């Protein structure tokens, strides 16, 4: 039975429905794990790189976005993404395989659309993983330079980080989860301490910022650019579903992890960016972020926590970027694993390690592609931050928001076809539709500002969109050429038995 038929045939699918083929599927085609809500939240929040966002996109949002009103854009982004998450998590029990965007679109819109979504998502995530190496290399270079270490090329530090990431990705997911947990707790704690000292210390130059609640401040400057940087800061939250095969009680764990990740990320960014503005004063925030954006976080930390605090936050800024890379590597590996297990990519990549239960081959393949991108950036002499990072991050931002929108459409179509599921109108239609409207607005804003993100090059911006559309168009091509591409192994077994 084809995937398309499953979305519309009677009886209406239920969250608990399984087939005999499912229970007899080879063990080596499934990942193993015992992840709870906390472990998945660590993975996803780490991918958002909290400290990296406070030190990077936040100063940019203040400088060229909507100034002191920028913290409120995190509230707007959180609300829209929570609306998206309502439909996303409501459909989760009906999607019985890891793969996030791919699995949801496949389940609702059919095999060809699912494959196209999977290819586009894979391309978006893998470019973002590669992009962050353009930040961590210079970050380590600057950190060690402040301690008197002789300067060496940034790409050497990036190469060391690359090797560690591939090694951890090869190991089982729980090892990676423990590494991310330690790094995440440390960076969040230091920022919360800084926030508390700023807010409760009574030492701010102009009192606490009022921009976050001022309509005139929120609408000042370029609110669209502010939204752009805010939504970029959330990329990765939807990956909770990628860990479905490794989660305890996934029908409950995945929704809880998704909501909790969004709320924690949104509150953390809104409060921390508000505190950062308060630390320099509303009247000076935009000018300070414009003139000293790259050192704003370190400068504020030195003022409020002293030299020791400044050194700590410099170290944790680097580890935050490392955690981001590691988390995205895990996400990309699982996309490769799922697509390979469904014959859309070489099937050898879709086997889990016999002892570790990890997607070891998919992890190595992911590392090879990222390594090629990194090498290309070095050989062509691209500036690691202003070109390599910015261009690849711009590519990813378009892809991820586009895929979120497609997934929202998939949710609406799925529950539109299956009205007897007992799901409330709010969860199956109203919230997903509102989320889709917000995501479309975000996409328009990103496309309008994409040339700025890629160095003012309109041809490069157009090329990014064309490449993403080509990746999506590859789905129908592969579906036509390979009869079982995109079909889960258990479904293929049922088809073969019926022939």
Cβ atoms of 53 and 269 closer than 8 Å: yes
> 495 pLDDT band (50/70/90 cuts)?
very low
Specify the 3-state DSSP secondary structure of 255: helix
- Thinking of the domain 32-490, which architecture would CATH place it in? Up-down Bundle (1.20)
How distant is the alpha carbon of residue 23 from its chain centre? 32
User: Scanning the structure block, which residue is given the tokens 């002191």?
Assistant: 68
Cα–Cα distance for residue pair 332/362, rounded to 1 Å:
8
Structure-model confidence comparison of residues 354 and 60, the more confident one: 60
User: Which pLDDT score is estimated for 47?
Assistant: 66
Cβ atoms of 235 and 48 closer than 8 Å: yes
Q: Which range has the top average pLDDT, 65-79, 97-111, 340-354?
A: 65-79
Cα–Cα distance for residue pair 334/173, rounded to 1 Å:
11
Structure-model confidence comparison of residues 97 and 341, the more confident one: 341
Structure-model confidence comparison of residues 126 and 177, the more confident one: 126
CA angle 303, 308, 314 (to 5 degrees): 85
Whether omega for the bond prior to residue 11 falls within 30 degrees of 0, making it cis, is yes
Cα–Cα distance for residue pair 210/277, rounded to 1 Å:
10
Q: Which range has the top average pLDDT, 94-103, 160-169, 297-306, 432-441?
A: 432-441
pLDDT at position 489 over 60 = no
> 269 pLDDT band (50/70/90 cuts)?
very high
For residue 187, what are the contacts with CB-CB under 8 A and spacing of at least 6?
50, 51, 316, 317, 319, 320, 323
Average pLDDT, the chain: 82
Name residue 207's beta-bridge partners.
Answer: 205
Q: What is the mean pLDDT of residues 211-235?
A: 87
Cβ atoms of 26 and 491 closer than 8 Å: no
Cβ atoms of 389 and 132 closer than 8 Å: yes
> 135 pLDDT band (50/70/90 cuts)?
confident
Q: What is the mean pLDDT of residues 115-130?
A: 90
Q: Which range has the top average pLDDT, 18-22, 111-115, 219-223, 480-484?
A: 111-115
> 328 pLDDT band (50/70/90 cuts)?
confident
> 16 pLDDT band (50/70/90 cuts)?
very low
pLDDT at position 303 over 50 = yes
> 28 pLDDT band (50/70/90 cuts)?
very low
User: Scanning the structure block, which residue is given the tokens 């609408």?
Assistant: 219
User: Which pLDDT score is estimated for 326?
Assistant: 83
pLDDT at position 494 over 80 = no
Q: How far is CA 305 from CA 182, 190, 314, 355, in A?
A: 22, 10, 13, 46
Condensed to tens digits (0 to 9), the pLDDT of residues 253-267 reads 888 888 999 999 999
CA angle 282, 188, 383 (to 5 degrees): 75
At how many degrees (to 10) do helices 250-280 and 173-200 cross? 30
Condensed to tens digits (0 to 9), the pLDDT of residues 334-355 reads 878 878 877 677 777 777 776 7
Cα–Cα distance for residue pair 211/55, rounded to 1 Å:
19
Condensed to tens digits (0 to 9), the pLDDT of residues 445-471 reads 888 877 876 777 888 889 989 999 999
pLDDT at position 356 over 80 = no
pLDDT at position 18 over 60 = no
Stated pTM of the model: 0.81
> 31 pLDDT band (50/70/90 cuts)?
low
Domain ranges of the chain: 32-490
Cβ atoms of 411 and 405 closer than 8 Å: no
pLDDT at position 15 over 50 = no
Neighbours of 307 (CB within 10 A): 9
């Amino acid at each position: 039975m084809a995937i398309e038929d499953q979305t519309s045939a009677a009886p209406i699918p239920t969250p608990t429905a399984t087939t005999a083929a499912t229970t007899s599927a080879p063990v080596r085609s499934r990942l193993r794990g015992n992840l709870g809500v906390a472990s998945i939240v660590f993975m996803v929040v780490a991918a958002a790189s909290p400290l990296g966002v406070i030190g990077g996109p936040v100063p940019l949002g203040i400088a060229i976005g909507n100034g002191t009103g920028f913290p409120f854009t995190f509230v707007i982004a959180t609300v829209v993404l929570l609306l998206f998450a309502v439909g996303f998590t409501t459909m989760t029990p009906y999607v019985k395989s890891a793969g996030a965007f791919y699995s949801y679109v496949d389940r609702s819109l059919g095999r060809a659309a699912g494959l196209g979504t999977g290819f586009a998502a894979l391309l978006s995530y893998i470019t973002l993983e590669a992009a962050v190496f353009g930040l961590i290399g210079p970050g380590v270079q600057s950190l060690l330079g402040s301690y008197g270490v002789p300067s060496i090329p940034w790409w050497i530090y990036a190469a060391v980080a690359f090797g560690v990431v591939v090694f951890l990705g090869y190991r089982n997911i729980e090892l990676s989860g423990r590494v991310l947990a330690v790094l995440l707790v440390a960076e969040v704690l230091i920022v919360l301490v800084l926030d508390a000292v700023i807010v409760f210390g009574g030492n701010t130059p102009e009192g606490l910022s009022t921009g976050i609640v001022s309509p005139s401040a929120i609408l000042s400057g370029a609110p669209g650019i502010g939204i752009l940087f805010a939504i970029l800061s959330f990329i990765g939250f939807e990956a909770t579903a990628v860990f479905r095969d490794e989660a305890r009680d996934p029908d409950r764990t995945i929704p809880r992890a998704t909501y909790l990740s969004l709320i924690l990320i949104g509150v953390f960014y809104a409060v921390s960016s508000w505190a950062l503005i308060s630390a320099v004063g509303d009247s000076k925030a935009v000018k300070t972020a414009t003139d000293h954006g790259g050192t704003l976080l370190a400068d504020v930390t030195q003022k409020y926590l002293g030299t020791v605090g400044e050194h700590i936050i410099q170290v944790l800024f680097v580890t935050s970027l490392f955690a981001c890379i590691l988390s995205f590597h895990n996400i990309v590996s699982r996309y490769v694993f799922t697509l390979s297990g469904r014959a859309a990519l070489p099937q050898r990549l879709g086997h889990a390690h016999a002892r570790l239960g990890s997607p070891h081959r998919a992890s190595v393949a992911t590392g090879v592609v990222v390594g090629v991108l990194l090498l290309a950036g070095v050989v062509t002499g691209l500036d690691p931050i202003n070109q390599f990072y910015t261009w690849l991050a711009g590519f990813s931002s378009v892809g991820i928001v586009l895929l979120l929108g497609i997934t929202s459409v998939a949710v609406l179509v799925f529950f539109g076809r299956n009205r007897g599921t007992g799901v409330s109108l709010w969860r199956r239609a109203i919230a997903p539709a509102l989320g889709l409207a917000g995501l479309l607005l975000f996409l328009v804003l990103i496309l309008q500002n994409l040339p700025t993100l890629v160095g003012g090059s309109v041809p490069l911006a157009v090329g990014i969109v064309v490449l993403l559309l080509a990746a999506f168009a590859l789905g129908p091509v592969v579906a036509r050429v390979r009869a079982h591409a995109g079909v889960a192994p258990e479904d293929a077994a049922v088809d073969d038995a019926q022939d």
